[in-house]
Structure 1
Amino acid sequence: MTFCVALLGGSFDPVHHGHVALGALFARLLQCDQLRVIPAGNPWQKKNGLVASAEQRIAMLELAFADAGLAITLDRQEIERTRATYTIDTLRNVRAELGADASIVFLMGADQLRHLDTWHDWHALFALAHIGVAARPGYSLETASLPKPVAKELQQRQANLAQLRNTPSGHVYLAEHLAVDISSTQVRAALQRGEQANSLVSPVVLDYIQQHNLYKT
């Protein structure tokens, strides 16, 4: 059987229930051999930078996924880069590591899909990996106003889970099972206002945030 890895990238500043739910959903749907989480280093589309340090974000990731009972592999390649972080470079590295036959499925929310055509060298992503997309409330995959180039790629590449699981790259799977609408921006704003964030973030992550005095201002 083809080795299958699901890749979950992001700033994770901080990691929240939506991130964990996305990883859990595709780990279950794909029955993947590895759920690999890749915290961003210097994401070029983030204008204001990151609040928590790389090591703090990694610590929170380990706590959140362990609390959910999900085994993950942490990939530090993006935080170890000294230049801008591009997904295409990360996928090239993972492909080189795993070989030509492995199934690589890059995970994202439907809101990210709507901006896919702004990603660096985005057309080349499909030669390296599949894309697994999960809908969030307000981002229905049926009604989302996708840019025409992205919509065209989806029409050509939409596939079922078995095709993703047993082929290396090139397909898109649209899952509509993820009813979690949370963003890290929303979490940071709630914490800055001193609000309870238990519905947004794992209790063990909240404890870590409080212990390290993060996201106060």
Structure 2
Amino acid sequence: MKKRIGILGGTFNPPHLGHLIIANEVLQALQLDEVRFMPNQEPPHKKKDMWISNEDRVKLLQLSIAGHPCFTVETIELERQGRSYTYDTIVLLREREPDVEFYFIIGADMIEYLPKWYRIEELLSMVKFVGVNRPHHSQETEYPIVKVSVPDINISSTLIRTRLSENKSVKYLVLDHVCHFIKERGLYGSK
């Protein structure tokens, strides 16, 4: 029987409780063996002043998932240079782990963009997409998506960065030890 692994990609700048809840809900709903958090390279549209190093993002993810036996960090996209297309990443993951069935977890905001994804038809033959609900976005699509309902949590990394830069509390938005690391390192303009 093939191992069933979920992939949750994102900038995780920083990772927050919403990310953890989505991963745990999908893990349980689909009875996956593991969920991997996959940070991507710096997107060109992100503001540089609020960007932290890949090393710090990986450390924040490691702190966020510490103690969960089915959560790991997947750094394959950080190991490559240039633009990261999901298609290329899945090709590499399948070459590396041919006996794994991959489930790519996306929010409803990304479901809406599936027609524009690079090599989407080929991608659909290589991975199962798992769509989770997001406030103000539809999960309707012509593509074969496994839908998983998750609690509506309207937390964003942008909100957390803004609060930190304004020296406001992010308690209950990120785990305490994640917040401690952010403040210890002065990330996102925190004091």
CA distance in 2, matches of 1:175, 1:122: 21
Q: Percent identity?
A: 29
Q: Structure 1 residues 70, 15: closer, same or farther in 2, change over 3 A?
A: farther
Letter of the 2:122 partner, please give it: A
| Counterpart residue number, 1:102 | 100
| Counterpart residue number, 1:203 | 176
CA contact (8 A) 1:6 1:106 kept: yes
Is there any run of 5+ residues in structure 1 with no aligned partner, and where? 158-171
CA contact (8 A) 2:12 2:157 kept: yes
Letter of the 1:87 partner, please give it: T
Letter of the 1:197 partner, please give it: V
Q: Structure 1 residues 118, 185: closer, same or farther in 2, change over 3 A?
A: farther
Give the SS at the match of 1:106. strand
Displaced runs of 4+ in structure 1, greater than 6 A? none
CA distance in 1, matches of 2:123, 2:178: 32
| Counterpart residue number, 1:59 | 59
Shift of 1:140: 4.8
CA distance in 2, matches of 1:134, 1:212: 33
| Counterpart residue number, 1:167 | none
CA distance in 1, matches of 2:3, 2:109: 28
Using the size of structure 1 for normalisation, the TM-score is 0.79
Shift of 1:116: 2.4
Is there any run of 5+ residues in structure 2 with no aligned partner, and where? none
In the TM superposition, 1:85-100 aligns within 5 A as: 85-99=84-98
| Counterpart residue number, 1:160 | none
| Counterpart residue number, 1:152 | 142
| Counterpart residue number, 1:116 | 114
In the TM superposition, 1:175-190 aligns within 5 A as: 175-190=148-163
Using the size of structure 2 for normalisation, the TM-score is 0.89
Per-residue displacement from partner, 1:54-74 (whole Å, max 9, x unpaired)? 11011100111116x353232
CA distance in 2, matches of 1:102, 1:12: 24
Give the SS at the match of 1:9. strand
| Counterpart residue number, 2:4 | 4
CA distance in 1, matches of 2:168, 2:184: 16
